[in-house]
Structure 1
Amino acid sequence: MHPMLNIAVRAARAAGKILVKNFGVQADYNVQQKSQNDFVTEIDKAAEQAIVRAILKVYPDHSIQAEEGGDIVGKDADHLWIIDPLDGTTNYLRGIPHFAISIAYAVKGVVQCGLVYDPLREELFTATRGAGAALNDKRLRVTGQRDLNGALLATGFPFKRKDLSANYLAIFGELFTDVADMRRNGAAALDLAYVACGRMDGFWEFGLQPWDIAAGALLVREAGGLVTEFSGGHNFMQSGNVVAGNPKVVQGILSKARTHLPASMK
């Protein structure tokens, strides 16, 4: 295992204990609204602090990009950890058992390793650049689905970009006529992990953040899949607009979506 991945696993398990301990206790999570329909709790912050402590204890000069705490620019800016301590906060708040921790490690902007950890199911998805992806040490591959016909896709509504609602719904309708079904699970990092392990054939969403994508995108790529923007480009970490899956499914999604995209995405 990549040495940085070992650190990430240790950090994720520490945060996972916090999430599991407090899940479903009906306590006051001290919920705050960051923006419209976007929430943060004391549990998010505690889990993030546990991850940051575990990393900086070993690499105090590294930099960190985390959802709740913002950027920490260390002396070594080339080494960056990208962290989402609780992907699926709304699910967590509502007692829905579908959420995860996402941690990725990048050197000079290139993600080298990452993980998505579901602490309730004890499922640890890991990937190292050039060395493949695994679920609890079992090698992962994306599905061999040949086209959209019969495919199972995952997606997420653009609740932070409601200006794109019409575009999103048009693409949804276009895809839905061909695929077997679509799932909206509320945790993008887990959706990408599920694509990597073959539970889903593909995934698409607008307006994500780097911490939603970084680890999951590496999982998909190392499992033999593709991750692109809707234009077919590879700046999804910047744009937040993501299509992922096996190559043929990605090609099908891009083809169907093309005519319904706003000019800024083409």
Structure 2
Amino acid sequence: MAASANLNLMIKAARKAGRSLVKDFREVENLQVSSKGPGDFVSRADREAERIIKEELLGARPTYGWLGEETGEQDGADPTRRWIVDPLDGTTNFLHGMPHWAVSIALEHKGEIVSGVVFDAAKDELFWAEKGAGAWMNDRRLRVSGRRHLHEAVFATGIPFGAKSTLPAMMQDLARLMPACAGVRRWGAAALDLAWVAAGRFDGFWERELHTWDIAAGLILVKEAGGFVSGIRDGQDPLESGSILACNDALFSTFQKTLRGE
């Protein structure tokens, strides 16, 4: 599948940052780590990856806006386009030597995500999607799973930690869902969870209190793979609220109603 110039640029930036992160991952015990808060860490590797991506993307498209986890928001001369970047989704996994983390890059145009890349550098799996062009993993086209029954389905989520206020809601979610499904997994990298929904590895994913950069690229992956994405509650915009529910088309309504207790 031929990619657009912007998507090729995103892929190049993701791969370059991924190579830098893999190098640091091999020396994870020697990383200089500073704490940003309970359970939320930032490393030298994280900041260097964002520097690489920013240099690549804004070097080629200097008029675009920018939203990055480490360097924040920056307006561009073109108000209609913005890069949304998480240079290292799954930082805690990375710092503990667990090979489940990713580079996430999305392009927003007039408030809509039109391209997304999630690069699992440790496994060399590059997930990418463009509006109207489908979702892909390396050279293979992706499709959400075809499971139609909740008792066969495996879902992914994130368990709140530290000072987050949504633990009671999550416990209620689990109490409703776990008796009805085949299992729930907590991998600690929302971008990869969404990419795996697009690939049919997970049947669905939900989580609260996420940031825009956590889910922007994954959101278009799921949509272009034939899945549905919404907020957990009616009227929620996932990118604005940080509350997201993603699932294959056949199970979406049942999954949503189960979490809502309907």
Taking structure 1 as the reference length, the TM-score comes to 0.94
**1:106-255 matches, cutoff 5 A:** 106-159=108-161, 162-233=164-235, 235-255=237-257
Work out the CA distance in 1 between the residues paired with 2:76 and 2:100.
33
**How far off its partner does 1:13 sit?**
0.8
Work out the CA distance in 1 between the residues paired with 2:120 and 2:146.
25
Question: 2:49: which partner in 1?
Answer: 47
**How far off its partner does 1:33 sit?**
2.1
CA deviation map 1:6-44 (0-9, x unaligned): 010010011001110010314432222223321111100
- Letter of the 1:221 partner, please give it: K
- Letter of the 2:150 partner, please give it: L
Percent identity over the alignment is: 44
**How far off its partner does 1:160 sit?**
6.0
Question: For this pair of structures, how many residues does the alignment match?
Answer: 260
2:13 to 11, 14, 17: 11
**How far off its partner does 1:250 sit?**
2.2
1:31 corresponds to 2:29:
no
RMSD between aligned residues = 1.4
Work out the CA distance in 1 between the residues paired with 2:80 and 2:243.
25
CA deviation map 1:55-92 (0-9, x unaligned): 11111111110001111212122110000000000000
Label 1:170 to 1:108 Cα distance change in 2 as closer, same or farther (>3 A). Answer: same
Give the match's secondary structure for 1:74. Answer: coil
Work out the CA distance in 1 between the residues paired with 2:97 and 2:15.
20
| Structure 1: gaps (5+ residues) | 261-266
Question: 1:76: which partner in 2?
Answer: 78
Alpha carbons 2:236, 2:243 under 8 Å: kept? no
**How far off its partner does 1:227 sit?**
0.6
Moved over 3 A (4+): none
| Structure 2: gaps (5+ residues) | none
Work out the CA distance in 2 between the residues paired with 1:30 and 1:129.
39
Work out the CA distance in 1 between the residues paired with 2:163 and 2:253.
24
Question: 1:92: which partner in 2?
Answer: 94
Give the match's secondary structure for 1:77. Answer: coil
Work out the CA distance in 2 between the residues paired with 1:191 and 1:151.
14
**How far off its partner does 1:161 sit?**
6.0
Work out the CA distance in 1 between the residues paired with 2:35 and 2:180.
37
Taking structure 2 as the reference length, the TM-score comes to 0.95
Work out the CA distance in 1 between the residues paired with 2:87 and 2:221.
18
**How far off its partner does 1:120 sit?**
1.2
Alpha carbons 1:143, 1:198 under 8 Å: kept? yes
**How far off its partner does 1:232 sit?**
4.1
Work out the CA distance in 1 between the residues paired with 2:211 and 2:28.
29
Work out the CA distance in 2 between the residues paired with 1:226 and 1:161.
30
2:65 to 63, 66, 70: 63
